[in-house]
Chain A
Amino acid sequence: MVFTGGGIILCILILSCLAPIAGDPCSVNMDERLSPPSFKHPFGTDQLGRDMLSRVLHGGRVSLIVAITISLLSMVVGCFVGAVSGYFGGVVDDVIGRIVDVFMSIPEIVLNIAMVGVFCAVYGVSTFIVIFAVVFTNWVGYARLMRGMVLSLKEREFVLCAKAIGAGEWYILFRHIIPNAAGPLIVLATLNIGNVIMTIASLGFLGLGIQPPIPEWGQILNSGKNYITTAPWISFFPGLFIALSVLGFNILGEGLNAES
């Protein structure tokens, strides 16, 4: 499973890295608009005559970079909050616990839409806002997992030994506890990237994510919905790549989980 998932992801990553070879994703050619897939344009062209292969591969770069960035940032924030909550306990744990409950009580996508909507209305749309909005809701899963891990690890002998020789609390947290919780967190992060790709694509489809002319899978998918009967390739290929990448990350995550 690890190899299958990893293989799919690796293929998509290699293709995305090769995107510049496919040409400029913004190059307009109105004489070739809405051309079906052909040897010249393997994925066809869109309503401005732009090569869909180039747009999908460049879109992959954007979607994957943003998804991985969001997952890493969410992991950092979630781990820190969860570790502090679990290790110090008491009032800190209660307060963080209630905050987590609040976040968990609202569907993630609804919160994302609200966040992006509010910030974009005030500051305009930017990739940074999308990243911020998704990280804002995405850290909770990591925090819960980390808290549980810390609660179990802090009673273990190596932590008690570290305390006995006079190690500081932050030192113990960062040097002994967090590294020992890394395994399950990596599995969660791998599974989470797939969800984040879906979230970004959903926001892009709703027009709330990364904005044109930067190509992004969800946004390309949306731009093709008016042409679904006359030029289905505009929506098909970004949809296929979203499905494949989510599938790849999920298989990889499941595989890592099974092996751990």
Chain B
Amino acid sequence: MTTVSAEYVVEKAQQRRKLPPALIAGGAVLGVIVGLAIFAPLVTSYNPTTQDLTNILAGPSAAHWLGTDQLGRDVWSRLVYGARTDLFVAFIAVLSPFVIGTLAGVFAGYFGSALDATVMRLADVVVAFPFYVLVMLLVFLLGPGTGSIIIAITVVSWVSYARIVRGATLVAKNQEYVLATKAEGFSTSRIVLRHIVPNVVSQAIVFATSDIVLDILAIVTLGYLGLGIPPPTPDWGEMMASGQQFLTTHWELSTIPGIAVVLTGLGLSLLGDGLAELLSVER
């Protein structure tokens, strides 16, 4: 019997070393995009906000790889700097609900009773609103700007993390080893931090990889509707919106940023699939 289980452990370890192909593919796609965003000044030769009204709506050329927009700004520069803006905002907008939701879920699941009831009723109220509607309402109330967008997304999306983590916590807290540490008289904070959180956080991480796709979509959508990051800061959504008036003559203006969004989403989804496989979490 012992030999069998030892063999099994060895095989498992060998499997670990081989990363899921989805993880590698997603990492590669995302790596390129994030790389471009970080090194934006190095890969572009124009300031994304500099207008050149003598050269508007120019097609692709050696000087302007993707042409210029209606104000003569370089589309490639705006695309790359747009990645910078949108990815950064999305990253913060996924991090803060991740932290808040995970904590709320752990505490609600572990302590139960009134705290649990309050958190879950609050979650019920939030999901009674469609995601976009509540985000738009909050951005409207708080005024335009990056901070409002992040707060709005946080208020709405902590719920999913809280629900997932609460469920996982309910399972984890009744596991024998947790009950055992409890019996041994370890402090509650130690049990929660050392035994519960590490066990439930992987599910939250995997969810975060699909949640960040939704957040990017939300940020871009707000930009498209004119409720997002205020111009002239380059933002993919705003680019697509302003390109729409030129659909008949310059359809590429509003489709190219969309392709950038789709590629980013694809990279993140693949990364999420790979991560789920690696952490063996059901998606």
The reply to whether chain A is a binding partner of chain B is: no
